[in-house]
Amino acid sequence: MASPAVKKAISEAALQYQKPEGKVFEYGTAGFRMKADLLNTVVFAVGLLAGLRSKKLSGQWIGVMVTASHNPAEDNGVKLVDPMGEMLEAEWETYATKLANAPLDKIADVYDELVKEIDVKMTNPARVVFARDTRASGSRLVGVLNAALTATQVEFIDFKYMTTPQLHYVVRCKNTLGTQYQYGEPSELGYYQKLVDSFKKVMRGVKVQGSLTVDCANGVGGPKLRELIKLLDTPLDIKVINDDVINPDSLNFECGADYVKTKQRAPPSSKAGPLDRCASLDGDADRLVYYFSDESNVFRLLDGDRIATLAASFIGDLARSAGIASKLKIGVVQTAYANGASTDYIEKVLKLPIICTNTGVKHLHHAALRFDVGVYFEANGHGTVTFSENALKAIKNTEPQSPAQQRALECLQALTDLINQAVGDALSDMLLVEAILAHKGWTPKEWLGTYTDLPLAPERKLESPAGLQGKIESLQSRYHKGRSFARASGTEDAVRVYAEAASRSEADDLATRVANAVREAGTDGQQA
């Protein structure tokens, strides 16, 4: 039971805020995300829950990230990070939803009911770390978070501005400190140091060709990338663009990974020449896509599917050179958004098993843990590689019989540090891609040449219910290599329609027909 003093403190603190009328909140794939001015009471509830989660887990550190990722500048959001840097356990999403919807004059009672329902030992310590992206509303929301944590007597550390993956890293470091699994120093500097040291080890004896232009979405990734570059005194020529965090409206505006992926074009601000490597981060730097324009100035995208195939092929080759391939189960995790050509390539050329999961990092991450080396990426650029304990042991304990084997083992070892295993991380993924391209001696054109994407139609958004699988399947069977699906968005009030086929016109046609079928099934659906 919560003490009367704590309940009183919660009630008093809560009354400073006003709950938006008639709004129902739901903790979804991206936590809570909406217009920033609606978020005060939601953030307050998340602060209360973070403390409870920590107490429930015997005082382990829990993270709270205030960000709305690739959304427009006027939005914001908040999500919880579990002790190993993973997404909040699914069952707790419902508790978050419950607290966020509690009327303010009852919130202390709902808190107390949750304490009983979850069976939280209130005498346990509670510890929380939090950070935010560069949105103007962030400081107000962090103030609200502070009020909730103070009311419930939670120990906390404010890490100020951080990328989402940096906060995940810090949470994992805090909870592994002093153990044999210590993940790194729990500080921003510790994060850079780990990346820089491991990148140098991976890069021993190889050189990066040409330069890389990185579009930072005018978000928190910009200043953080600049910090990283300062410490990376290697011959990596990185040109930073779209790193304006002063003008609040520039965030994600005509730039960033989401813009590039959905519009299938480079940000207008990009000055890169033909065949130059380019990359875009999203607003909180947990998504990464690459691209370039070819000799005919045609835009070429290298998205999450491409990063997955690149990483899987490289790690597979290294495992073979290191003589440990037979000990490791390497696999790839994708969602239905993965281009069919990438799936074919992984199965037929790389000969690796694939797991297909629902959209959302938590689903991919959990599936990846079923492999010794689990490469997971969403097509939109969220992803990373996980290494099992068995993999880490095999890499560490194998006695090399030749210099080549030794080099492969060293490289794998360094990769386990370079890759952020807590969560997908655009900065870490970027160094991974740069290292692999350098090892392979590949230009982006050679990377693109590994297979040919099936054409896809631009995504359709509809406001009506899904659930038309049979109809969709019969429609897609009429097209050569046709594949389509519709799903309810977890971040917007919309249904998304995806379609690919052997040619662009067939993909467009299929998308239109599926969209119509969804619309007919809906009440008053309309294309957005």
β-pair type (483-488, 383-387): unpaired
Which one of Mg ion, ligand 16G, none is in contact with 243 (Cβ closer than 5 to 8 A by kind)? none
Residues 6+ apart with CB under 8 A from 340: 454, 481, 483, 500
Beta carbons of 169 and 198 less than 8 angstroms apart:
no
Using the contact rule CB under 6 A, the part of the chain among 146-154, 378-386, 425-433, 461-469 near ligand 16G is 378-386
Among Mg ion, ligand 16G, none, partner that 148 touches (CB below 5 to 8 angstroms by kind): none
- The SS3 assignment for 280 reads strand
- Nearest Cα to Cα of residue 32 among 490, 516, 384: 490
Nearer Cβ to Mg ion (243/284): 284
Cα(391)–Cα(366) distance, integer angstroms: 17
Q: Is 159 within 8 Å of 146 (Cβ atoms)?
A: no
Alpha helices for 454-503 (secondary structure H):
469-476
Residues 47-106 that bind ligand 16G (CB under 6 A): none
Of 1-9, 255-263, 444-452, 485-493, the window that binds ligand 16G (rule: CB under 6 A) is 485-493
Tell me whether residue 69 or residue 420 sits nearer to Mg ion (CB atom). Answer: 69
244 binds Mg ion (CB under 5 A): no
Could you tell me which stretch among 80-88, 181-189, 285-293, 419-427 binds Mg ion (CB under 5 A)? 285-293
425 binds Mg ion (CB under 5 A): no
Is residue 258 near Mg ion by the rule CB under 5 A?
A: no
Beta carbon nearer to ligand 16G, 186 or 383 = 383
- 380 makes contact, choosing from ligand 16G, Mg ion, none, with CB < 5 to 8 Å by partner type, with ligand 16G
Is 30 among the residues that bind ligand 16G (CB under 6 A)? yes
Binding partner selected for residue 96 from ligand 16G, Mg ion, none, CB under the kind-specific 5 to 8 Å limit: none
| Distance in angstroms (rounded) separating the CA atoms of residues 484 and 475 | 8
d(CA 43, CA 36): 10
* HSE (side-chain half, CA atoms, 13 Å) at 116: 7
| Residues pairing with 334 in the sheet | 356
- Residue 490 binding partner per list Mg ion, ligand 16G, none, with a CB distance cut-off of 5 to 8 Å that depends on partner kind: ligand 16G
Q: How far is CA 354 from the centre of its chain?
A: 19
Among the listed ranges 65-73, 260-268, 409-417, 423-431, the one in contact with Mg ion (CB under 5 A) is 65-73
Rounded CA-CA distance 35/75 in Å is 4
* Cα separations in angstroms, 519 against 243, 472, 511, 515: 40, 12, 12, 6
Please list, residue by residue across 140-167, b when 16 or more beta carbons sit within 10 angstroms of its beta carbon and e when fewer do. bbbebbbbbbebbebebeebebbbbbbb
Contacting ligand 16G (CB under 6 A), which of 41, 76, 359, 476? Answer: 359
Residue 493 to residue 203: CA distance in whole angstroms: 45
Identity of residue 320 = R
247/133 Cα distance (integer angstroms): 14
One residue of 187, 416, 450, 489 binding ligand 16G per CB under 6 A: 489
Contacting residue, 133, 188, 258, 378, with ligand 16G by CB under 6 A = 378
Nearer of residues 372 and 378 to ligand 16G, judged by Cβ: 378
Does 282 participate in binding Mg ion (rule CB under 5 A)? yes
Active site residue 428: no
The single residue among 284, 303, 417, 453 that binds Mg ion, judged by CB under 5 A, is 284
Question: Alpha-carbon distance 285 to 69, whole Å?
Answer: 8
- Which span sits near Mg ion by CB under 5 A: 210-218, 277-285, 322-330, 426-434? 277-285
**361 near ligand 16G (CB under 6 A):** yes
Residues that bind Mg ion in the complex, under the rule CB under 5 A: 69, 282, 284, 286
Q: Would you please indicate which residues are annotated as catalytic (active-site) residues? A: 69
Residues that bind ligand 16G in the complex, under the rule CB under 6 A: 29-30, 359-361, 378, 380, 382, 489-492, 496
